[in-house]
Structure 1
């Protein structure tokens, strides 16, 4: 019964089983024909559990190197820690140490989806805010397009799952399945549309004007009174099909010209209240990770949830314009929170 260095896996399993049956370490040693000290050592190590990991000290860097890292991080937005340190000629620093140093001077962020505003953009946004500061925004029709897909934006289906529950299965497609371009407008407390843009969201001038004729003018605008048409201001963004000479001339023939056609500053989705309406609708159609099997199904969901947006919600959005204009001026043309 000589002392051996290590116990086999089978022997360890037997020791656990014998302990569960109430056997003493001495009896187990006799049953396994192993040295009593070997059995006792295994039992003691098992009862102590895993040793707590001790954090290793950071690799020391010189006093001026953190300043170099800070400057490099400012010049290289969204770069990895390795790229930042290599640009400073600081090598041999493990990732954990690099991240610990960077956490004191920077944060991990995703790229902004909004285009950056240059000086000209900011000046035009300020000029626009000053021009329309005294406007009665209850007379403005705010329009825009959005695109809805069958599965929603990437990561839309994230959410909390109760303990013991399994996450629901998501349909995976070989192809994306396309999407539905949607056009709508809001004025005061009223929703105009939504309308399905059959030809796609990137229309040319001719198809855009024909779309407005078949939907907006025939199904909504024509029914309005002469006094309403006289006072209404039509807002659209600066998409090429919207701002072209052809579209501008066509709208002028419809009576929407000069002060009745709102000028729009570049790069300003945050100033259009209908963008908030799109967020409300998308939250509803994709809630609980919902997916759709066809474009007709997702279109039906858009129409149904758009109809469920009540007039008070729309009125809250359109009445927010005074605050948005003041925010633009306060931020000197910069983006505002929506």
Structure 2
């Protein structure tokens, strides 16, 4: 009597019929010449199916086609499973079978994101690196704006789920429930800000200058002459930053010429404050936290900023020399942040 062979459809129908006649499972096993344990297992769970030892090898796809499918997936990683199979000459395979085969051959990852750098951009990045490679970056004030949503970074969150436990629920609101825009800067071991951008304000050149006048200028005026002579102000090439009105207003504050860093295009990887945003958001949304109001979110941002250590800021600003070396070795290409 076979021990491990699955019951056929005909045998299953016979078992049901014999059970209806009042036969015992032992008598049924003898009549069908099957192991008694197999019959009892079917009776206990008629929906039971044995897990295949071959992990679902598709009999309709040959080993030669599998090799072609793997090669096509390597050449076209962004194509759909249907396009991969058609390229490999294995059209007509159902979607579930395609996905099962591809899961055996490869692991799915989210595509990495890169900025649209042209050769001109790369040349400007290299020129920037050569110009500032001997700069003392502890005297540079790196600034930027950041946005935080009520529901988390882009409303996304992941869950570790143990068997037998339910998936926890989260609020889902349009555009992440709204959020808070704020500005900050880092210089050496110091954090300047954060300062909240007023609700509904579009950051044009005029509004940006007003914002710096209200928040940056008071901080700047408190410093002594030696500080003023060394500081270099950095902001990126956002339209409100690069406008002539902004440059003229900064010059009136005393931030001009060599005190205003010329920033290369498409270069967030060179700004250490981008790493500060990552640290800040990781702290704010720890444990999948969400917020019910913008004021609550803003208070969490302020608290998290106070908890950031001076040594953490120093590590970020001290990383600029390594970023420049890597930029030069990559011939102007993007550095991984």
Q: TM-score range by the shorter chain?
A: 0.7 to 0.9
Match of residue 251 from structure 2: 252
| Equivalent position of 2:322 in the other structure | 323
Q: What's the counterpart of residue 229 of structure 2?
A: 230
Residues 98-146 of structure 1: CA distance to partner in whole angstroms, max 9, x if unpaired? 8747976x76332434323221121111111111000011100000111
Could you say if the C-alpha distance between residues 8 and 120 of structure 1 is closer, same or farther in structure 2, counting changes exceeding 3 Å? farther
CA distance in 2, matches of 1:324, 1:100: 42
After superposition, where does 1:1-338 map in structure 2 within 5 Å? 5-7=14-16, 32=22, 37-38=27-28, 43-47=36-40, 50-53=49-52, 54=54, 55-57=57-59, 59-60=61-62, 66=68, 70=72, 74=75, 78-86=78-86, 91-95=91-95, 96=97, 100=101, 108-154=108-154, 156-162=156-162, 164-173=164-173, 176-199=176-199, 202-218=202-218, 220-338=219-337
Displacement of 1:244? 0.9
Aligned counterparts of 2:25 and 2:251: Cα–Cα separation in 1: 101
Q: Which ranges in structure 2 are unaligned for 5 or more consecutive residues?
A: 1-12, 43-48
Alpha carbons 2:61, 2:90 under 8 Å: kept: no
Structure 1 residues 121 and 39: CA distance shift in structure 2, 3 A: same
Aligned residues of 1:183 and 1:193 also touching (Cα < 8 A): yes
TM-score by length of 1: 0.80
Q: Cα deviation per residue 1:197-241 (whole Å; 9 max; x = unaligned)?
A: 1155751110111011111112x1121112211210000000000
Greater CA deviation, 234-243 or 43-52? 43-52
SS state at 2:14 partner: coil
Is the 1:188–1:315 Cα contact (8 Å) retained in structure 2? yes
Paired with 2:120 and 2:197, the residues of 1 have a C-alpha distance of 32
Deviation at 1:67, TM superposition (A): 9.3
> Distance between the aligned counterparts of 1:295 and 1:323, measured in 2?
37
In structure 1, the residue corresponding to 2:153 is in which secondary structure?
A: coil
Task: Give the match's secondary structure for 1:315.
Answer: helix
Instruction: Count residues in correspondence.
Output: 312
- Cα drift, residue 57 of structure 1: 3.9
* Alpha-carbon distance in structure 2 between the residues aligned to 1:77 and 1:183: 39
- SS of 1:267's equivalent? coil
TM-score where L is the length of structure 2: 0.80
Q: After superposing the two structures, state which structure 1 stretch, 44-53 or 187-196, moved more.
A: 44-53
